Structure 1
Amino acid sequence: MAIFTRHLAARAVAVVFAAWQALASSGAAWEARVVDAATGKPLPSASVKTSAGRKTITNSEGWFEVECAPSESVTVSFVGYRPVTVAASHAASRVALQPMAVSLEEVVVMPVDKVVKGVIAEARRQMKKQRRRKTTFFYRQISFADGECIEVLEAFFKAKPVVTVSDMALMYGRYAAVGADSTEAPSFFGNFFTYSQMELVGGERPLDTQDVMPLVDNYATYYDVGLRVITDGRRRLMVLRFRPKAGVGRPILDCELYVDMRSMHILRCVGKGVNMRVLNMFNKVNVVSEVDDMSFDINMADEGGYSEVESMAVSVSFACGGTRSHIRSLMFNVGKGKRLRQGRYMLFFDNLQRKIDRQGYDAGFWRDNEVVKRTPLEEKAVRMFERRNLFGQF
């Protein structure tokens, strides 16, 4: 298929990021890795914000890059850790965050059921009150087959961000893939991006959906829940641990929910999926595969009186057709922006790759809007796809 280019669409999308780019032009890039001070392990999806208003998150290896003038300060934060603010003039290549400590003062038995129901009620209130709010998200999906990168998908979406990402509408994207023999892609994951709409809160009716969400009225039917409190000396967070009960055979989450003790706002949900399956296109045939490993990390910003999704990372591994497949994605809230006239996007029925292909590809737009730093392997794959002119073809 020929490569289609529509520069008007690319220029229109660029309006979303014009202010961000104007700010960035006044400083130099600070590149660093964020790690756990206790273990030294990298912290993916940590939040990075400059005093001038620019922001990004760390990639899957804990690295970030942000533009900042020497006179600015930069705050690095991650839910469950003490935030760090440093002057850009004293920036180092490593930022270590201290984990929050368990609060020994909270030794009294807290009513777990009351806490869970309070979190559910507050989340529903926020979602109802902010049901019309929309923002712009950046999405990146990297797919591997037997360790080889075979697929790169990047896109910008308009979506509702409160508590969960919903009603995603494609603004602009790019897609490229190769097969194991580097001539034809044997598979693609057309609806994997719907994992970024992972729901945590159910409606007021008894649960009747396929997946078991942790925040539903009859949660005790499916989960055992534990509770602990952590603090950094100023802020206290409740950590609710949802463990699936024995014998639950449907898709379910094994996760920890971080909740601000004062506002009852959800700040983070991290864990794994159990009994999960993935649908992909293998040799032009839809194939359902059992997932070997599925992990996720949803981080929220508690600003403006509600929990707004700031980032979400998902990793899924499975076997299909004798091939070991691994898909890694991230979604990052880049803020408000102009909505393009692309129309509403039907998530579970449309083919995202084909929709991107019809939009066309502008290499200059993507060079200017990386947003989240790539890992060396992701960078190598993107450069290879660009060199072979594979972006914009499906």
Structure 2
Amino acid sequence: MKLTLLAGLLLAVIIRPAAAQSRLTGKILDAATGQPIPYASISVLSTTAGTTSNAEGEFELKAALPGRLVISELGHRRDTVAVAAATAPLLVRLQPASVLLPEVQVGSYLGDLIAQAYRQLRRTTAKKMYGQAFYRQITRIANDATEVQEMVWDAATTNAGMDGSAIVTGRFAKKMKAQISFNNFSVFTKRFGFNMKDDSLTQRGILGLNTARFYTLSLLGVTQSEGQQLVEIGFESKPGLAPLTAKGTLVINETTRQVLHLRFETPDLVNVKTNSLVSLVVKLKDQHSVFEMDFQPAPNAAVLTYIKVDYRASLAVPLQRNVAIQASSFTYFYNSRATPDASVTYAPAKGGEVDLALIKQTTYDPAFWQNNAVVKRTPLEEQVMKSFEQKGAFGTMLP
């Protein structure tokens, strides 16, 4: 799903075996407020090992120690921390980056900056990165977790989104009496991104040469980071002009013209593929979706680090009260390198794919999931996963 958004449409880290690896845990906090910093990037200097913090700022990874961790997040100053041994959880406090809040918008500055970022993206989007991705999805009905699935992919990415993938392993479980389940939710992750295929003069995505014609733009702030300026731009579609009713934010490095973050919110997403016990009469109302992509700056082209998808709706069944539905996924990309694995076919997503069918093509190995380092789950996620594991739901692959 590209950012014309084609309608129709936590985490674990596999670390390559290394000598004297230790299990390191910790938490990332804002030094000024003391609040957790979610989705901060944590990498081991001079290695491919890394992870990201969860929604509560916690992280976990395996690394050869002693070593140095590099921690970064867009709104904070990058920090490097020396770690001698994993004797206790690590507490890292990141200093907030200085933010300038402009009082006025300056002429066509925002539209011009987006157009420059678009040209930069078109010049560099052919530069692919190859590595692994870990995908976790949790579906909730009336706030009760009814479906969980996890997949590891070999993945090809660009600075516009995912380019292709091949499943390595996966597991799936759901409650037998769940009113509804999502059979291809991962396609939202695989297809979400910036549209680089349409004619640049006519395309109406939020990254293009004519963005200001179709979206109302606002300058939200400028962050000073390591001698460069990160410009945060708010956008909202103009009625009748943009392809979808949408709003959100873009973060662009003013120096390199690299797009580093996108948050895209829309109520217009339709044709969500589901399985339902009441498929003939069930209706999904009040649909609302939020997509996020995050990139790490790099010399040639920004490198994709994660994609978040959050879908919410109301399940309307005749003669019953509406029920809240939520499906959320988080995909983390790691071990990125410039050369592909010759044994892997990185295939683009297909519209008719069914996640469970793909997972069933793999062999379920409980030890694999127990022994791999996992980016620390939140307490709620931990509770959900253990409840399914204790019932043996993953091993039996409930239909």
TM-score range, shorter chain: 0.7 to 0.9
Structure 1: which 5+ residue stretches go unaligned?
1-15
Check the 8 A contact 1:202/1:216 in 2, yes or no: no
Check the 8 A contact 1:138/1:371 in 2, yes or no: no
- Please report how far the alpha carbon of residue 338 of structure 1 lies from its aligned counterpart in structure 2 after TM superposition: 4.5
Structure 2: which 5+ residue stretches go unaligned?
1-12, 317-321
Q: Deviations over 1:147-176 (max 9, x none)?
A: 211111111123331121132332221111
Among 188, 195, 215, which residue is 1:223 paired with?
215
- Look up the match of 1:49: 43
Q: Within 5 Å, which residues of 2 pair with 1:1-394?
A: 17=14, 20-23=15-18, 26-51=20-45, 53=47, 54-68=49-63, 71-89=66-84, 93-103=90-100, 109=106, 111-127=109-125, 129-130=126-127, 133-163=129-159, 164-178=161-175, 183-196=176-189, 197-205=191-199, 213-227=205-219, 228-232=221-225, 234-246=227-239, 251-277=244-270, 278-283=272-277, 285=279, 289-321=284-316, 322-336=322-336, 338=341, 344=347, 346-392=349-395, 393=397, 394=399
Hey, what's the Cα distance between the residues in 2 that align with 1:233 and 1:142?
A: 37
- Please report how far the alpha carbon of residue 186 of structure 1 lies from its aligned counterpart in structure 2 after TM superposition: 2.8
Q: 1:372 to 1:340 in 2, by over 3 A?
A: farther
Q: 1:207 to 1:154 in 2, by over 3 A?
A: farther
Q: 1:219 to 1:46 in 2, by over 3 A?
A: same
- Please report how far the alpha carbon of residue 335 of structure 1 lies from its aligned counterpart in structure 2 after TM superposition: 2.0
TM-score by length of 2: 0.81
Q: 1:270 to 1:95 in 2, by over 3 A?
A: farther
Q: Give the letter aligned to residue 213 of structure 2.
A: T
Q: 1:259 to 1:350 in 2, by over 3 A?
A: same
Check the 8 A contact 1:44/1:60 in 2, yes or no: yes
Q: Secondary structure at the match of 1:184?
A: coil
Q: 1:289 to 1:36 in 2, by over 3 A?
A: farther
- Please report how far the alpha carbon of residue 70 of structure 1 lies from its aligned counterpart in structure 2 after TM superposition: 5.0
- Please report how far the alpha carbon of residue 223 of structure 1 lies from its aligned counterpart in structure 2 after TM superposition: 0.6
Hey, what's the Cα distance between the residues in 1 that align with 2:29 and 2:62?
A: 20
240-249 or 116-125, which moves further after superposition? 240-249
- Please report how far the alpha carbon of residue 300 of structure 1 lies from its aligned counterpart in structure 2 after TM superposition: 0.6
Q: 1:28 to 1:358 in 2, by over 3 A?
A: closer
What percent of counterpart residues are identical? Answer: 24
Q: 1:370 to 1:85 in 2, by over 3 A?
A: same
Check the 8 A contact 1:45/1:313 in 2, yes or no: no
- Look up the match of 2:5: none
Check the 8 A contact 1:276/1:291 in 2, yes or no: no
RCO higher in 1 or 2 (8 Å CA, sep ≥ 6)?
2
Q: Give the letter aligned to residue 219 of structure 1.
A: T
84-93 or 298-307, which moves further after superposition? 84-93
Determine which structure has the larger helix proportion and give its number: 1
Check the 8 A contact 1:137/1:331 in 2, yes or no: yes
- Please report how far the alpha carbon of residue 370 of structure 1 lies from its aligned counterpart in structure 2 after TM superposition: 4.4
Q: Deviations over 1:311-356 (max 9, x none)?
A: 1222222111432122221111122574766784643211111221
Q: Secondary structure at the match of 1:366?
A: helix
Q: Secondary structure at the match of 1:143?
A: strand
Q: Secondary structure at the match of 1:347?
A: coil
Q: 1:35 to 1:298 in 2, by over 3 A?
A: farther
- Please report how far the alpha carbon of residue 93 of structure 1 lies from its aligned counterpart in structure 2 after TM superposition: 4.5
Check the 8 A contact 1:171/1:339 in 2, yes or no: no
Q: Give the letter aligned to residue 117 of structure 1.
A: A
**Across the two proteins, how many residue pairs are aligned to each other?**
368
Hey, what's the Cα distance between the residues in 1 that align with 2:35 and 2:237?
A: 27
Q: Secondary structure at the match of 1:384?
A: helix
Check the 8 A contact 1:203/1:216 in 2, yes or no: no
336-345 or 140-149, which moves further after superposition? 336-345
Q: Deviations over 1:114-139 (max 9, x none)?
A: 21111111111111x32x54332111
Hey, what's the Cα distance between the residues in 2 that align with 1:207 and 1:185?
A: 47
- Look up the match of 1:11: none
Q: Deviations over 1:52-90 (max 9, x none)?
A: 522001112221112345521212111122112222249
